[in-house]
Structure formats: structure tokens, C-alpha cells
Structure 1
Amino acid sequence: MDNKSILKTANIAITNGDYEVFLSHCTDDTIWNFIGDKTLHGKESVRKYIEDTYLEPPKFEVENLIAEDDFVTAIGKISLKENGQYKSYLYCDIWRFRDGKMAELKAFVI
């Protein structure tokens, strides 16, 4: 599978609540950098973030997926359930892939 297809497959898993399937597409040493907020180091840190943040599976509306070399950029909207209601955010995620897995994320969320 190419990197763009891997990201699409991983996102389907996360929206279905299949978080371990999603994590199987990440490297063990994955780094998630939420620009201006926090950085997560390693799959266990990401697993904890998902458990704490995704009380219900998020909803994605991907507007664009742009792939080149080891990078895939996803631009769109994500809705997360907070205090019983979904709240929407705009995002731009830049994923770096290594050996067919998601190794690094730079997330810009508004």
C-alpha cells in the first residue's frame, strides 16, 4: 500500500473506534507534535492520548490528501465529543512515513 492509502486505512480504523488497528500503522517510536500545544513520544504515549481524548470515535471530513515522497498532508475538519456534544476543529496534519508506517505527525489544529 502507498502512504496515502495507509493513512486512509488508519483513519477509517480510528473513526470505527478500532484504535489498536490504527496504532498498528504507527511506528513504536512515533512522535506526534501538536504545534503550540504538546508533543507525544512513542506509541504508548499516543495510546494514552487516544484513550483520554477520544471518548467516542472522532469524525473526520478530509478535504485534501497530498502525498509526496515520505509525506502525506491531510487537510480537513475533525469533530470530537466533548461534554456530551461534538465540537469541530479545522486541521492540517503532516505525516512522515518510515517503512510503511506513520513515524511522525505535525498537527495544526484550530
Structure 2
Amino acid sequence: MMNNKEVVKQVIDAFLRLDIETVLSHATDDIQMGWPGFFDLAPGKEALREFFKSVPPMTSATIGDLIVDGDKVAGTGFIASVDENGQPRNCFFCDVYELEKGKVKKISSYMVFEQKQPQ
């Protein structure tokens, strides 16, 4: 059986590849996901599956640190993507995963989008 850090590393890697079925294979049936201060998805795998249909393709992504505290794992990283107008969009993330019996029960995602500096 994988430890919590290994589970979250596989989940983040699958998210970054937009492989939602692998993500869901590591999730509880009532998984919750949200962006504090922005929105929360309805609980359950189907809500997560539907949400990911609208996620834009990523041009590159990296996983940074994974920090474990019992059944919670925080994972950081970087995502480069293209917005609906074809413009590059970069963001940095820190996701907090709560696990139950080796499955992801809750994800709180914090994202910061890179701001273009005036030239």
C-alpha cells in the first residue's frame, strides 16, 4: 500500500496530465474539491469529472514540494497553460489534500496567477 505522500504525488501528476480517471481512482466516493474564497464543487466524483472537462490544456507543469502531516499532504507546483484567447497563462499552486484510509477525501486548491510586469 502506498503512503499518503506517494498517493498525492500520483494524484498531482495525474491532474497535471489531465488524467481524471487516475485522479478519481485515488479518491473517496464523496470527494470534495474547492478553491477557498472562489468556489466549491459539489461533493462526489462526478462533479470533479465534469469540472475537468473545462480545464484548459497545460503546456508544461512541475511538482514542487510535498509536505506531509499525518493524513494531510500539501503539494506545490507550477503550471503553464494557454487561455481561451491563445495567450500564455502561468500559475503557481499549493493544494492541501486530506486523506482517509489511503484515499483523497478533500482538496483545497490555492492558485496564484502570474501577473505581467509593466514594461
Q: TM-score, normalised by structure 1?
A: 0.85
1:47 counterpart = 2:28: no
SS of 1:5's equivalent in the other structure is helix
Following superposition, the deviation at residue 57 of structure 1 comes to 4.8
Deviates more, 1:86-95 or 1:43-52: 86-95
Question: Which residue in 2 is equivalent to 1:66?
Answer: 67
Following superposition, the deviation at residue 58 of structure 1 comes to 6.8
Contact 2:76–2:93 (8 Å) recurs in 1: yes
Contact 2:13–2:63 (8 Å) recurs in 1: no
Structure 2: which amino acid aligns with 1:34?
A: W
Question: Which residue in 2 is equivalent to 1:107?
Answer: 109
Provide the alpha-carbon RMSD of the alignment: 1.8
Contact 1:57–1:80 (8 Å) recurs in 2: yes
Structure 1 residues not aligned, in runs of 5+: none
Distance of 1:96 and 1:58 partners within structure 2: 28
Q: TM-score, normalised by structure 2?
A: 0.80
SS of 1:64's equivalent in the other structure is strand
Distance of 2:57 and 2:9 partners within structure 1: 19
Contact 2:99–2:105 (8 Å) recurs in 1: yes
Question: Which residue in 1 is equivalent to 2:97?
Answer: 95
Larger Rg: 2
Contact 1:15–1:58 (8 Å) recurs in 2: no
Structure 1: which amino acid aligns with 2:20?
A: Y
Q: CA 1:108–1:62 in 2, change beyond 3 Å: closer, same or farther?
A: same
% identity of equivalent residues: 28
Contact 1:34–1:108 (8 Å) recurs in 2: yes
Structure 2 residues not aligned, in runs of 5+: 113-119
